[in-house]
Structure formats: C-alpha cells, structure tokens
Structure 1
Amino acid sequence: MTAITGTVYDSSGQPVEGVNIQWSSNEDPPVSSHERGSRTIDDGSYRLVLHRGSWDVHGTKDGTGTEVETVVLGADDAVVDLHFP
C-alpha cells in the first residue's frame, strides 16, 4: 500500500476544509473506486492509502468539483494537490 497526501485549494489559493476526496482506479480491470472515503481537515489536507497502480483523484464540496489528477503509485508515496477552478 502507498499513500497519497495533498492539500485542496480554492481559486484564491486558500486551503479548503471539508472537501470529499474521491478516487477511482485506471487499471484494467479496475482495482477499486470510492466515492466517499476521505475529507480534508481544517488545513485543507487529506491522506489516502491505496494499492500501487494508476488512480484518478478529485474532490467535491457543495456541488463543485476540483480538477481530476491522475497519479501512478509505485513504491513511493505521492503528493497530489487539488485545485477548485
């Protein structure tokens, strides 16, 4: 298992608390998908622990979504910051 950590920022660059972090596998067949698994804390940060592979990660809050970031996890942890448009 490998960790993805990051921070979610609003359009002005401020961290956002309470963002629902979602992820889905890009593997064939898909390893897993999760629509409600992690929420950002007061400093906008989050942490996911996932299997190695390719993942799409994004966040939603109040009906608005961040951009989708694709990350390929290997042996090392990854940092993926997300941004609202």
Structure 2
Amino acid sequence: MAAITGTVYDSSGQPVEGVVIQWSSNEEPPVSSHERASRSIDDGSYRLVLHQGSWDVHGTKDGTRTEPETVVLGADGAVADLHFP
C-alpha cells in the first residue's frame, strides 16, 4: 500500500474543499473493480491509500468534474493535483 496525495484547485487556482475524489484501477486485471470515493478537506487536500499500480483519479463537485489524472503509484507514493476547468 502507498498514498496518492494532492490538492484540488478551482479554475482560478484556489483550493476547493468538499470535492468528491474518485479513483479506479486501470491495471489488467483491475486491482479494484469499481470506483470508490473520498473527499478533499478544508485546504483542498486529499489522501488516498491504495495498492501500488496505475490509477485514474478525478474529482467532482456541484456537477462539475476535474480533469482526470492517470497516476502510477509506487512504493514511495505519488502526487496528483486535480484542476477544475
């Protein structure tokens, strides 16, 4: 297990609280067979503890979705900031 950490930003570069962070495996076979969710905290940051591998991560709030990020998670963890268009 390792952690993906990051911050969610709005279109003006400000951190966003309460964004639903979703992730799914893009490994073959999938490490996780369905999307799961977490939330960003008051400073816009989030932390996901997942198995090492390749993951698709995005956030949604009020019907708007961030640009998706593909993250390759190794033993040292990974950083993936998310941005609303």
User: Shared fold by TM > 0.5?
Assistant: yes
Once residues 73 and 54 of structure 1 are traced to their aligned partners in structure 2, the CA distance between those partners, rounded to angstroms, is: 6
Once residues 46 and 74 of structure 2 are traced to their aligned partners in structure 1, the CA distance between those partners, rounded to angstroms, is: 19
Please give the root-mean-square deviation of Cα atoms over the aligned residues, in Å. Answer: 0.8
Q: Which runs of 4+ in 1 moved over 4 A?
A: none
Report what 1:8 is aligned to: 8
Once residues 6 and 73 of structure 2 are traced to their aligned partners in structure 1, the CA distance between those partners, rounded to angstroms, is: 14
Offset, 1:34 = 2.6
Identity of aligned residues (%): 85
Alignment of 1:57 onto 2:57 = yes
Unaligned runs of 5+ in 1: none
**1:20-61 deviation digits (Å, cap 9, x = unpaired):** 00000011111113332x100110000000001000000000
Task: Compute the TM-score of the two structures, normalised by the length of structure 2.
Answer: 0.95
Aligned length: 84
